[in-house]
C-alpha cells in the first residue's frame, strides 16, 4: 500500500453548502467557490487536486484566500500559484508566506525557544503573494462578495471569510472553532499574556479566540465552515457553551498553578476564587543545602566536597571558584542535572572542561543533553554535553554521608529527573522546576506534561506521597516548601477534573492529544548529510488513547530526492497508552515509522525542511510534522 493511496482513502465525500459553494474534505476543509468553470479556493489542503476540482466543474483556479499561514491549511497552494492563481493572505502573516526561508534560517527559531509563535507549521518554502486581507476588506470575485473578518486566536493574524452566494451567507472561520462549543486543540493557544511571555502562556490566546468567536456569532452567517470539522448552522454555534467551557478550564488551571507564585497578579480576576489552593508552607533550607547562583544549588558534605545541582550560567562557576578560594568547599565532585532547559545546562560544558566535573542525570534527560540536534523542544540549548553516569528511576547510591536517589519526575517537562537526598535526618527533594507552593509548573504545552493516572503531575503527586520529603526545592525559588496530604489530594482532584474539561472542549478521545504538541515528532529533528547520502528519519507517535491505533506516514520531498519504499515503514500499529518516549527501558515505548531517504548527488548546500503527511486512525492530519536536513 502506498502512502499516497492511504491519504486518498482517508478523505470523506465533498459537500455542497450553497449555490456554487463547495467544501472539499482533507486535513482541513478547503472552500471552493465555482463560477463558469473558474474557482476561488479558501485555504488549500494538499489533498486538493485538479481531478477533485474537475468533479465539481472547475477548470481553472484563479484565486486562493488563506485563513492563516499554517501549512496544514495551505500545503496544496504551490502548484496552483505556479499556474497563475493569485494568493491572498492575512495582512500580518505575509512575511511567513513570502519569506519562509528567513524563518527557517533564523537561529532564534531553533534554539533557546521561549516563544511559541509562529510555531512549527510555517510553510516549508516561500510563495508569491498577490495581496493581503484584513478586517473590513471586501473582496469581489466574479459577482461574489467576500467580507474579511480578523479572527486571531490559534495564530495572531488569522482571518475568516464571509461569502454571500445564492441568498445565503457562509463563513469560512478557520480554527476559531471546530464544532459547536469546541476547539481543535489547546497547544495552539500557547501565547504570552498579562506581561508574561509565550513560555508561561498556556491558554494565553483563549481570550483573543473568544473575542473572535463572539465576532463570528454576530456576523450574520447562515452556515459556518471550520477548518477542522463539519459545517454547522448559526443556531448551532453555541457561543455560550464555548465561553462556559473555557471559563471552567481557566478556573481549574489557575486554581493550582505555580504562576500564582511567580506572577501573583497574573490571575488577578480569580484571586478570590474559592477553587484556588492555599499555598504550601515554605521552609528555610537546611545548612548543608546552599544556593550557588542563578538556578544552581549545592549539597555540601561534612568532608568539604560539593555536589552541584544544575549549571545554567557562568556566574555559577565564578561562585564555585570563590568558594574554593575561601575553603568553603574542597572540590565539586559531580553535577546532577534535573532537566535539559537552557537555564539549567548552559554552563555545563565549562563545568566539565574547567573543573573536570562529571555530569550525572536521568535516562530521560541524558539523550537530549548528549544529542540536542535530534530534538526540538522549548528552552533547548545547542551544545552537547558528555554524561558520565545515566541513572534509572529509583536507582540509589551513596555519596559521603548522604544517600541519593534518581526519580523520573515529569512535572514541568516529561524529560525531568528529581534527586532525593537523604542525610542529617531529613529527606530533601530537588525537583528542577516541577512545582511551587501554589501548585504545578504545567504552563508550557511543548514541555509535554501529560494528564492521566500515573502520568505527568499526577505521577509526581504519587512520588511525593511515596517518598514523603521534608523539603521540596524548585531551583527558581529561594525557599523549600512542603505540600500537605490534603494539598496533594486537592491537586489530584483538580487534575482529574481537567481531563474531563479538556475532553469536553476538544474533539479528541484523550485530553493529551489536545495539549501535547509533540505527540507526533521527527527523530532526529535535525541532521547534516552529504550530497547523494542515504539517511533515516523516524516519525515517532505517542498514543494517548486507550486502544491500539493505526498511523500512516509519507515524506514530502524536494525534486529528485527519493525514499526507499521497500526498506521504509509507512503504516504502523501504535499500542495504547504509550509513555511519550522511544526507549527500551520504558514500560510502554512509543512506536515509530523509519523512513529511508536519499538525496541526489547534485544536491546543493542548503537547509531542507522535510514535512511528513500523517494519517491517524483513518483521519488525514496533513503535513503535521517535519524534520530539518542540512546538506553540507
Residue range 129-141: average pLDDT? 97
Greatest extent of the chain over all pairs of C-alpha atoms, in Å: 88
393 or 166, greater pLDDT: 393
pLDDT surpasses 50 at 415: yes
Residue pLDDT, tens place only, 249-260: 999 999 999 999
Residue pLDDT, tens place only, 80-101: 999 999 999 999 999 999 999 9
- Strand ordering across the sheet containing 471-473: 281-283, 480-482, 471-473, 426-430, 417-423, 402-408, 396-399
> Which residue from 382, 380, 426, 431 is spatially nearest to 403, judged by alpha carbons?
426
Output the pLDDT for position 416. 98
Are 305 and 333 within 8 A, CB to CB?
A: yes
Output the pLDDT for position 189. 98
Output the pLDDT for position 166. 86
Q: How far apart are CA 191 and CA 201, in angstroms?
A: 5
Residue with the three cell numbers 510555531: 119
Read off the pLDDT band of 6 (50, 70, 90): very low
Residue pLDDT, tens place only, 137-161: 999 999 999 999 999 999 999 999 9
pLDDT surpasses 70 at 10: no
Residue pLDDT, tens place only, 577-610: 999 999 998 999 999 999 999 999 999 999 999 9
Q: Residue 597: in which H helix or E strand, if any?
A: strand 591-598
Output the pLDDT for position 7. 40
**Coil vs helix vs strand at 217:** helix
Q: What is the average pLDDT score of the chain?
A: 96
> Is the preceding peptide bond at 169 cis, omega within 30 degrees of 0?
no
The number of angstroms, rounded, from the C-alpha of 317 to the middle of its chain's C-alpha atoms is 33
Read off the pLDDT band of 442 (50, 70, 90): very high
pLDDT surpasses 90 at 4: no
pLDDT surpasses 80 at 430: yes
pLDDT surpasses 70 at 225: yes
Output the pLDDT for position 2. 31
Counting Cα atoms < 13 Å in the Cβ hemisphere of 264 gives 3
pLDDT surpasses 60 at 188: yes
- Burial label for 617, CB within 10 Å (0-12, 13-18, 19+), is middle
Residue range 399-416: average pLDDT? 98
Output the pLDDT for position 513. 98
Output the pLDDT for position 411. 97
Tell me the residue ranges of DSSP E strands in 402-512. 402-408, 417-423, 426-430, 471-473, 480-482
Are 582 and 550 within 8 A, CB to CB?
A: no
Q: And the C-alpha cell for 454?
A: 500515573
Are 401 and 423 within 8 A, CB to CB?
A: yes
Q: And the C-alpha cell for 586?
A: 520504558
Residue with the three cell numbers 533547548: 380
pLDDT surpasses 90 at 11: no
Residue with the three cell numbers 512506536: 591
424 or 1, greater pLDDT: 424
Which percentage of the chain shows pLDDT scores above 90? 96
Residue range 56-72: average pLDDT? 98
Residue pLDDT, tens place only, 524-549: 999 999 999 999 999 999 999 999 99
Bridge partners, 168 (sequence order): 165
Are 507 and 179 within 8 A, CB to CB?
A: yes
Are 152 and 212 within 8 A, CB to CB?
A: yes
Read off the pLDDT band of 426 (50, 70, 90): very high
pLDDT surpasses 80 at 326: yes
- Burial label for 536, CB within 10 Å (0-12, 13-18, 19+), is middle
Are 199 and 259 within 8 A, CB to CB?
A: no
pTM reported for the whole predicted model: 0.96
- Burial label for 144, CB within 10 Å (0-12, 13-18, 19+), is middle
Q: How far apart are CA 176 and CA 9, in angstroms?
A: 27
> Which residue from 518, 512, 514 is spatially nearest to 582, judged by alpha carbons?
518
Domains within the chain, CATH numbers bracketed? 3-237 (3.60.15.10), 281-513 (3.60.15.10), 519-631 (2.60.40.2310)
- Residue 148: CB atoms within 10 Å: 21
Are 236 and 180 within 8 A, CB to CB?
A: yes
Residue range 382-407: average pLDDT? 98
Amino acid at each position: 500500500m502506498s502512502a499516497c493511496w492511504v491519504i486518498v482513502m482517508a478523505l470523506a465525500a465533498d459537500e455542497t453548502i450553497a449555490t456554487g459553494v463547495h467544501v472539499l474534505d482533507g486535513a482541513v476543509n478547503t472552500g471552493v467557490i465555482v463560477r463558469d468553470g473558474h474557482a476561488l479556493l479558501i485555504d488549500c489542503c494538499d489533498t486538493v487536486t485538479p481531478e477533485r476540482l474537475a468533479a465539481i466543474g472547475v477548470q481553472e483556479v484563479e484565486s486562493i484566500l488563506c485563513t492563516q499561514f499554517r501549512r496544514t491549511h495551505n500545503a496544496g497552494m504551490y502548484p496552483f500559484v505556479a499556474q497563475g492563481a493569485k494568493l491572498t493572505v492575512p495582512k500580518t502573516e505575509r512575511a511567513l508566506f513570502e519569506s519562509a526561508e528567513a524563518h527557517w534560517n533564523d537561529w532564534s527559531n531553533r534554539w533557546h525557544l521561549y516563544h511559541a509563535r509562529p510555531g512549527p507549521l510555517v510553510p516549508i518554502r516561500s510563495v508569491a503573494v498577490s495581496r493581503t486581507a484584513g478586517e473590513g476588506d471586501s473582496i469581489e470575485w466574479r459577482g461574489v462578495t467576500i467580507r474579511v473578518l480578523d479572527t486571531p486566536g490559534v495564530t495572531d493574524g488569522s482571518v475568516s471569510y464571509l461569502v454571500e452566494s445564492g441568498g445565503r451567507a457562509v463563513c469560512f472561520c478557520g480554527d476559531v472553532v471546530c464544532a459547536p462549543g469546541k476547539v481543535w486543540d489547546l497547544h495552539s493557544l500557547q501565547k504570552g499574556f498579562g506581561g508574561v511571555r509565550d513560555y508561561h502562556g498556556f491558554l494565553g490566546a483563549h481570550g483573543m479566540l473568544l473575542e473572535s468567536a463572539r465576532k463570528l456569532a454576530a456576523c450574520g452567517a447562515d452556515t459556518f465552515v471550520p477548518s477542522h470539522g463539519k459545517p454547522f448552522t448559526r443556531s448551532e454555534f453555541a457561543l455560550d457553551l464555548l465561553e462556559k467551557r473555557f471559563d471552567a478550564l481557566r478556573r481549574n488551571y489557575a486554581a493550582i498553578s505555580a504562576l500564582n507564585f511567580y506572577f501573583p497578579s497574573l490571575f488577578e480576576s480569580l484571586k478570590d476564587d474559592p477553587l484556588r489552593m492555599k499555598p504550601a508552607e515554605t521552609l528555610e533550607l537546611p545548612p548543608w543545602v546552599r544556593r550557588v547562583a542563578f538556578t544552581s544549588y549545592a549539597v555540601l558534605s561534612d568532608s568539604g566536597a560539593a555536589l552541584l545541582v544544575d549549571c545554567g550560567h557562568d556566574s555559577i562557576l565564578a561562585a564555585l571558584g570563590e568558594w574554593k578560594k575561601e575553603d568553603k568547599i574542597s572540590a565539586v565532585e559531580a553535577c546532577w542535572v534535573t532537566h535539559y532547559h537552557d537555564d539549567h545546562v548552559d554552563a555545563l560544558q565549562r563545568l566539565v572542561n574547567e573543573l573536570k566535573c562529571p555530569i550525572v542525570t536521568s535516562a530521560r534527560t541524558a539523550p537530549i543533553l548528549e544529542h540536542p540536534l535530534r530534538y526540538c523542544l522549548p528552552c533547548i540549548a545547542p551544545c552537547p554535553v558528555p554524561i558520565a553516569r545515566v541513572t534509572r528511576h529509583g536507582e540509589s547510591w551513596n555519596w559521603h554521608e548522604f544517600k541519593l536517589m534518581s526519580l523520573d519526575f515529569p512535572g514541568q517537562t516529561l524529560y525531568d529527573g528529581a534527586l532525593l537526598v537523604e542525610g542529617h535526618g531529613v529527606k530533601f527533594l530537588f525537583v528542577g522546576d516541577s512545582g511551587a507552593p501554589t501548585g504545578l509548573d504545567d504552563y508550557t504545552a511543548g514541555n509535554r506534561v501529560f494528564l492521566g493516572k500515573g502520568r505527568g503531575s499526577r505521577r509526581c503527586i504519587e512520588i511525593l506521597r511515596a517518598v514523603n520529603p521534608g523539603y521540596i526545592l524548585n531551583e527558581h525559588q529561594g525557599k523549600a516548601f512542603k505540600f500537605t496530604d490534603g494539598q496533594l489530594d486537592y491537586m489530584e482532584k483538580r487534575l482529574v477534573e481537567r481531563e474531563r474539561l479538556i475532553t469536553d472542549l476538544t474533539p479528541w478521545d484523550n485530553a493529551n492529544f489536545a495539549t501535547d504538541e509533540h505527540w507526533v515528532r521527527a527523530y532526529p529533528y535535525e541532521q547534516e548529510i552529504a550530497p547523494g547520502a542515504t539517511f533515516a528519519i523516524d516519525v515517532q507517535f505517542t498514543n494517548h488513547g486507550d486502544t491500539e491505533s493505526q498511523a500512516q506516514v509519507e515524506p514530502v520531498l524536494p525534486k529528485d530526492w527519493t525514499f526507499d519504499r521497500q526498506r521504509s515503514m509507512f503504516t504502523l500499529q501504535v499500542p495504547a497508552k504509550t509513555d511519550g518516549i522511544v526507549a527500551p527501558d520504558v514500560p510502554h515505548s512509543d512506536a515509530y515509522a523509519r523512513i529511508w531517504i536519499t538525496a541526489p548527488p547534485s544536491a546543493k548546500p542548503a537547509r531542507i525542511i522535510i514535512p511528513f503527511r500523517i494519517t491517524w486512525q483513518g483521519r488525514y492530519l496533513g503535513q503535521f510534522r517535519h524534520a530539518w536536513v542540512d546538506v553540507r
